[in-house]
Amino acid sequence: MAFADLLSDIAGRLFGPAGPPDAEKALVADALEAIVDVVDPRIRSDRSYRRKLEPGVRSTIEHLRGIGQLLPAPILLSPERWKDEPLVQSCFARPDEVRELFGRSRELYRFFDANPGCEEAHALLALRREERTVLAPALIGGELRQDVQQVTVSFGQRRLIAPAMDALGCRRQVGEAILRRMAALALQGMIGKERRVKDLEERKGILATRLRMLQLRRDGVQRALENEAEDPAAEIAQLENALQTTVEAFVAEKASLATLEGIIDNVRRIFEAPQKVVGLETIALRLSGTGYKVAPGSGEAGTDLSLQELFIGEDLRGVIAFVRCARRDLPPPDDAIRRVERTLI
């Protein structure tokens, strides 16, 4: 089976119900091999690599399956039905913003072009939640006050991801993307080690050059016997200590990078503690009609939201919602919105 198909198959089994023990064993084995293929196939040179990596792969599968059970059911994302979904109305200020999102979604156009008989796509809507403290008018105890400190909530960087013909197909693509990202994090750890080795090597060279210059200066001072000259002995001693520390760190980092054990340990670090790199957090908040956060216990009118925020690594975090998108809601390819968006992308 091709690697891409294998990873997709793993994601499909992962986000489905737990299978019998034999099926679960096969899932772990296939996931382990797919991860090794992404990170570094040389790992297989270690005869015990399966034994070393299997506990982490099992932990990751259990963790991701738990996340899969928490994923929200699809909702309708439509300009015409904008007011029907509180989440959609809170994330999009007006119906035209939904249409604009459709108009700049290359993934959605490609999906419908490739599936002419499909009238509705399932996709993942990803948004970045942003909170900002501002001073604005507010009702306090029935009295309108100016310059009250409030928190405004907005949702930017909207994107539609992984369009598919049904909800399972979309979840399958999302699961595949998560697995790829986790493997990439392990690979990034190795690249980070390589970068650190390079930085240490450069620092080692700089310190050695500086030390040599000071030693030459010290020798010149001793030959000249000039009482007014500054003796660099103290700085030489400090540089010698710094150089020794740098050399030791360089040797340790390079040794861990060069060995299969170091590579395997880097993979284990990611997959044995998956909750540190992948998670789904539920965020409950109440928003006013103007986008301000309503304090708990306040009698102010607002919309109650339960947001699902997914994070993968340190750099990727966003509110997610599975949505249904109708073909009829896409602007025509030659629509003005599309022409404007082409100039911006």
Which pLDDT value is given to residue 228?
46
Q: Is 321 strand, coil or helix?
A: strand
Which pLDDT value is given to residue 261?
80
pLDDT, average across residues 232-251: 62
CA distances 300 to 205, 222, 288, 297, Å, are 64, 82, 8, 9
In tens, the pLDDT along 176-221 reads 888 888 888 877 755 545 555 555 566 666 766 766 676 666 665 5
In tens, the pLDDT along 109-157 reads 999 999 999 999 999 999 999 988 887 666 666 666 777 777 888 888 8
Which pLDDT value is given to residue 101?
93
pLDDT, average across residues 158-179: 89
b/e per residue 220-235 (b: at least 16 CB within 10 A): ebeeeeeeeeeebeee
pTM value > 0.95: no
* Cα gap 12→14, rounded to integer Å: 5
Picking from 317, 321, 340, 287, the residue whose alpha carbon sits closest to that of residue 90 is: 287
CA distances 288 to 128, 294, 304, Å, are 19, 6, 9
Place of tokens 């986008």: 291
50 has pLDDT over 90:
yes
Higher-confidence position of 171 and 200: 171
* Cα gap 40→267, rounded to integer Å: 10
* Cα gap 128→43, rounded to integer Å: 37
Count CB atoms within 10 A of the CB of residue 179: 23
The conformation of residue 339, written as its DSSP 8-state character, comes to: H
Picking from 143, 181, 152, the residue whose alpha carbon sits closest to that of residue 60 is: 181
75-76/316-326 β-pairing: parallel
Count CB atoms within 10 A of the CB of residue 169: 16
Element (H, E) at 70: helix 49-70
Side chain identity at 274, as an amino acid letter?
P
b/e per residue 295-305 (b: at least 16 CB within 10 A): eeeeeeebeeb
The conformation of residue 63, written as its DSSP 8-state character, comes to: H
Which pLDDT value is given to residue 204?
62
Distance linking the first and last C-alpha atoms of the chain: 36
CA distances 59 to 9, 133, 282, 321, Å, are 19, 39, 22, 25
Q: Please, are residues 129 and 155 in contact by the beta-carbon 8 Å criterion? A: yes
In tens, the pLDDT along 69-107 reads 888 889 999 999 888 888 898 889 899 999 999 999 999
Task: Supply 192's token pair.
Answer: 């980070």
| Angle of the 167-224 helix axis to the 260-271 helix axis, nearest 10 | 130
* Cα gap 323→174, rounded to integer Å: 13
In tens, the pLDDT along 283-333 reads 988 888 778 888 776 667 788 889 999 998 887 899 999 999 999 999 987
pLDDT band at 263 (very low <50, low <70, confident <90, very high): confident
pLDDT band at 3 (very low <50, low <70, confident <90, very high): very low
62 has pLDDT over 80:
yes
DSSP per residue, 134-203 = EEEEEEETTEEEEEEEEEEEEEEEEEEEEEESSHHHHHHHHHHHHHHHHHHHHHHHHHHHHHHHHHHHHH
The conformation of residue 68, written as its DSSP 8-state character, comes to: H
